[in-house]
Structure formats: C-alpha cells, structure tokens
Amino acid sequence: MEFSIKAGTPEKLRSGCIALGVIDAKGLTPAAAAIDKASNGYLTEILRRGDLEPKAGSTLMLHNVPGTACERILLVSLGKQAEFSDKNFRSTVGAAAKAFATCGSKDATLCLLDQAVPGRDARWRGRQAAMLLADSAYRYETTKAKKDDAPRRGPSKITLLLADQADVAGVQAGAVQGKAIAGGMALAKELGNLPANICTPTYLAQQAKALGKAHKLKVDVLERAQMEKLGMGSLLSVAAGSAQPPKFIVMKYDGAPKKGARPVVLVGKGITFDTGGISIKPAAEMDEMKYDMCGAASVFGTLKAVATLGLPLNVIGLVPTTENMPGGRATKPGDIVTSMSGQTIEILNTDAEGRLILCDALTYAERFEPDCVIDIATLTGACIIALGAIPSGLLANDDELAAELLARGQESGDRAWQLPLWDDYQEMLKSNFADIPNIGSKGAGTITAACFLARFTAKYKWAHLDIAGTAWKSGGDKGATGRPVPLLAQFLLGRAKAA
Ligand code: BES
Ligand code: MN
Ligand code: ZN
C-alpha cells in the first residue's frame, strides 16, 4: 500500500473514494464542508435526515455526489468533539479502512486526520492511520487453492489529505513508521496463521534466514547437538516427543551508531504446535495451538519493522522453537531435567512447556549483556481468564521498564496491563525433588508462570508479555492479530528517539 501525504481541500480531487469526517452528529470538518459547498449542500441535507449514526466510527457510503470528481464519498462519524480521543481516532480510521477494503476502488483519500487528538501530535496521527490502513489490507490466502474466492482487494494507493500544511511533515514521518509496523504485523500474522504441518521449527529457521537476507540481519540457527552442548536440557525435554527437530534461532540487527551498544533482546516462544505432550490437551479447539508460536512470530515481525526503518539501535531476537508432542520418547510428568542455568526442574505437567523452552533462551540471553530482555509468549490460559483479549499481560522485575512498556502500549493502541511479580508468589513454586517445579500450586497461573521465568532473569532488566489472549482471535474471525508487534515496535521507536 502506497501513501501520499498532501495538504488541501478535496472538492476537485479525482479519487475512487473520499472519507470525510462529521463531528457532533452534524458538524462538517473543513474537508467535508468543502465538498458540501461544491455539491450545493448535498451532505448537509443527508445529515439533516439523520442517516449517519453519531457514534464514532459509524459510516455512510454515498455514490455520485453532485459537483465532485470522485466516485464515492464515505461519511465517517467522529463522535463528540469534546470526547475525541485515541480510541475515537482509531475507530474512525479503522471504519474507513474497512469500508475502503470492500468498496472496490483502487485508490482512496482519507480526510480524517485533522481533528486534534489530545496529547498526540501529527506524527502519531500519521503513524496510527498508516498502520490501521495497511494492516486492514492483510488477507490470508496461502493455503487456499481457490484464490479468486478471496475477498476483494482494497485500494493500493491512499492519499492522506490534510487541512494544514504544517502537519504534512509529521504525518509523513509517522506514516512511514506505521507502514513498517503493519509490514511487521503482516509477517507475524502470516506465520501465526500457517498450519503446523507447514510452519515447523525448520520452516521458522528458514524464514529467519530469509528475513536476514532481505534485511541485513545476522542469523544463526543452533541445531540439537549445539543445544545439547550448551546444556539446554529444559528446551530439549520439550522436543523429546517430536519427530520435527528443534531449532534455536538467533537474529541480530545492528543499527546502533556506537559500537558495542547494549542490545534490547526479544525472546519469542516458538511452540509450533502444543498438544500438551503426555499431559495431553482436550480435543476442543486444539487446532488453535498452531498459534503457540505467536510470540516467536512477533519477534520476527518486530525485527522486520525495526530493520525496515533502520532504527539506530541494536536488537537481538531469540526464538527457541519446537513442537510439544506425546510419544514413546516424550518427557513424562515427574521427569527431572537440568536447565542451561544449572537449576533442575521437575516437570509436573508437560503442558507447561512454554516456560521450559523460554528459560534456556533467557539464560542464553545473558551473553549479550543486554540493556533489557523482553520475552513474548502465549504462556497461560489463566491470562485469558484474567484479562480477556484486550490487553496483554505484563510482568517485570524492573518497574521503570514495566512503566515504559505500559506507556508504549497506550501510545500504539496495543495495550498491556501489569500483574504483580511479588516474592510472595515464589512460595507457590516448590518441588520435593528438584530446584523448581514447572507449575505452581493452585491459582494465579499467569503470575506463577512469570515467577518461574524470573528465576532465570536475575542478571538483567526483564519484562514478560503473556499474549495468550491477544495473539489471535477465535470463532468466525479466527486469525492471528499481529500483536504485540505495534507495542514492541513503539517501544523500540521510543528507545531510538532517546538514543
Ligand atoms: N500454550 C498454552 C497456553 C494457552 C492455552 C494459550 C490456551 C492460549 C490458549 C500453554 O503451553 C499451556 O498449556 N499452559 C497451561 C499451563 C498449566 C499446565 C500450568 C495452561 O495455561 O493451562
Ligand atoms: Mn502447553
Ligand atoms: Zn504452549
């Protein structure tokens, strides 16, 4: 999707579809007023009849509006001026994106960026708009034979038309970022949506190499033998039941101008299918466990966005990846393994496998002397019970890092919510036979999972994002969301600005 950013009024514009804002039910934004004038009050007349709902994000498509050079006019309600907010901005642009995607036009113009959003600048508006528009163009069709059944493609060219010339540079800069973030989301969605018989650990390793080639990342893939040498007994215990070889993927983006600058390390859970292992899961919705590598997918997507933008930072992506399968060689409940850190782990439930692959990756991360480490994982069903699908769960051993991530979540619209990582919860992880069990006693499942990880992260600042509720949607709209690529990308944009 190509964006062009201009200032002016839309009445003489030739465009397949122009989206215009209406505020406080009947108030015309300057762009809408210009079209209204050119059409002799056509819009005012329609609004007077009350055809457009006043709620932010409601739309009304008009065809053949007199006095204009465009095929369609999309009226979009901005809601109440006094209540205009991040959320209303996003729902209005999102509604326009949805209408654009199905209207059949090859090009479109968006005149919805002029209404000031409290606390946000032009760059934010450009970034959010480009991200929402480009993201709405994603379609999954890789494994469909009948491609022509796929929904109609939306516009490939979008003009962001602004009332104020002074906003052009900011919106332009933001749009470049938003488009790159959407590109990262598309990669994360695609990897997530691919079935587990295609998206295996080997496939992820190949994709990492391909990403490295396209974006100048250094990519190393460690094989089983190398993992054995490193002592990654915890990770390998999860892979024991699988016919697919596990991989440990290391991707390095070197963008910092200063040599040796400490990297941000992102660690993504890459379980390409989670059957639960010997502690096998029930059959209902088990297909959705193909999404258990969405943490890994978000690391791929974030690195892609960062490299596309050439951010002046060092970022390392670590992806431990394997299937979790039952079988004659599979790890059994009660088995004890030794992690790379040297700590022994009693595996009381083979379905708590995410933490078992992450802990070795978190120990491996120490060698990079990281500025901070963020792991991203579809880790616990309990997180869905606690928070649903709105925010990702956030736990951290550093309050400043947590606050930074919470703020970047707000800014990007891809929010997180912090849960406590108090020492008191560590009491719930006790084993009679090893240093630590892989599950806690009853209750607080998201927190005890993070407490387990915390035993491996004492040497650096660390945050954990539990994306079990946010990484994909179930039901009729089943599909990966691309989250938390926007949050992570915004975090790194913030770091780049500070650097
Ligand atoms: N991948 C699952 C978590 C999950 C379940 C995410 C459903 C999204 C939807 C994870 O590996 C898992 O099975 N966790 C267990 C942990 C339990 C055995 C302590 C869970 O949440 O039930
Ligand atoms: Mn599991
Ligand atoms: Zn899992």
pLDDT digits (tens, 9 = 90+) for 448-491: 999 999 999 999 999 999 999 999 999 999 999 999 999 999 99
Residues 224 and 93 reside in one and the same domain: no
Q: Is the pLDDT at 499 greater than 90, yes or no?
A: no
Q: Please identify which of the residues 355, 415, 483, 495 carries the catalytic annotation.
A: 355
Q: Is the pLDDT of residue 180 over 80?
A: yes
Q: What is the pLDDT of residue 151?
A: 57
**Residue 279 CA, closest ligand 1 atom number:** 18
Asked whether residue 422 is domain-assigned, the answer is yes
Residues 244, 357, single domain; the answer is yes
Tell me: do 324 and 428 sit in the same domain: yes
- For residues 290 and 379, membership in a common domain is answered with yes
Same domain, 279 and 424: yes
Same domain, 113 and 186: no
What torsion do the CA atoms of 221, 225, 226, 228 make, to the nearest 10 degrees? 130
Q: Is residue 187 domain-shared with residue 100, that is, in the same domain?
A: no
Instruction: Indicate if 292 and 361 belong to the same structural domain.
Output: yes
Residue 20, phi-psi category: left (phi > 0), alpha (psi -120 to 50), beta (remainder): beta
Domain-embedded: residue 168? no
Atom of ligand 1 nearest to the CA of 439: 19
Please give the Cα distance from 164 to 113 (Å, whole number). Answer: 10
Q: Are 395 and 418 in contact (CB under 8 A)?
A: yes
Q: 374 lies in a domain? A: yes
Distance 352 CA to ligand 1 centre (A): 6
CA dihedral angle for residue 203, residue 205, residue 206, residue 212, rounded to 10 degrees = 150
Residue 151 lies in a domain: no
Confidence band, pLDDT 50/70/90 cuts, at residue 153: confident
Output the CA torsion sign for 464, 465, 468, 469.
positive
Residues 188 and 117 in one domain: no
Name the residues around ion ligand 2, CB cutoff 5 A. 274, 351, 353
> Tell me, what CATH number does 7's domain have?
3.40.220.10
Token representation of residue 346: 């009693």
Question: 386 CB under 6 A from ligand 1?
Answer: no
Q: Is the CB of 264 under 6 A from ligand 1?
A: no
> What is the structure's pLDDT at 339?
99
| Active-site residue, 455 included | no
pLDDT at 443: 98
Q: Which of 281, 459, 473, 478 is catalytic?
A: 281
**Atom of ligand 1 at shortest range from CA of 354:** 11
Question: Considering only CA atoms, which of 11, 14, 31 is closest in space to residue 22?
Answer: 31
Q: Can you tell me the distance from the alpha carbon of 353 to that of 322, in angstroms, rounded to the nearest whole number?
A: 10
User: Using 50, 70 and 90 to split pLDDT, how confident is the model at 160?
Assistant: very high
How much is the pLDDT for 154? 87
**Position 423 in a domain:** yes
Please check whether residues 190 and 119 belong to one and the same domain: no
Ligand at minimal distance from the CA of 466 is 1
Taking only the tens place, the pLDDT of each residue in 122-142 is 999 999 999 999 999 999 999
pLDDT of residue 446: 99
How far away, in angstroms, is 88 Cα from ligand 3 center?
A: 35
Say if ligand 1 is within 6 A of residue 389 CB.
no
Q: Which domain holds residue 71?
A: 2-138+156-162
Q: In CATH, what number is assigned to the domain containing residue 299?
A: 3.40.630.10
> Strand pairing partners for 62?
73
Does the structure show a pLDDT above 90 at 391?
yes
Exposure of 39 in the CB half-sphere (CA atoms within 13 A): 23
Q: What is the pLDDT of the chain when averaged over all its residues?
A: 97
Residue 149 lies in a domain: no
Long-range Cβ pairs for the range 443-447 (8 Å, 24+):
444/382, 445/380, 445/381, 445/382, 445/383, 446/379, 446/380, 446/382, 446/383, 446/386, 446/393, 446/395, 446/419, 447/395, 447/419, 447/420, 447/421
Is 355 a residue of the active site?
yes
Together in a domain, 126 and 204: no
Q: Alpha-carbon distance 441 to 437, whole Å? A: 10
User: Into how many domains does the chain fold?
Assistant: 2
pLDDT per residue over 22-47, tens digit each?
A: 999 899 999 999 999 999 999 999 99
Q: Could you tell me the distance, in angstroms and rounded to a whole number, from the CA of residue 292 to the centre of ligand 3?
A: 5
pLDDT digits (tens, 9 = 90+) for 43-73: 999 999 999 999 999 999 999 999 999 999 9
Query: Does 121 share its domain with 186?
Result: no
CA of 274 relative to ligand 3 center, distance in Å? 5
Say if 435 falls within a structural domain: yes
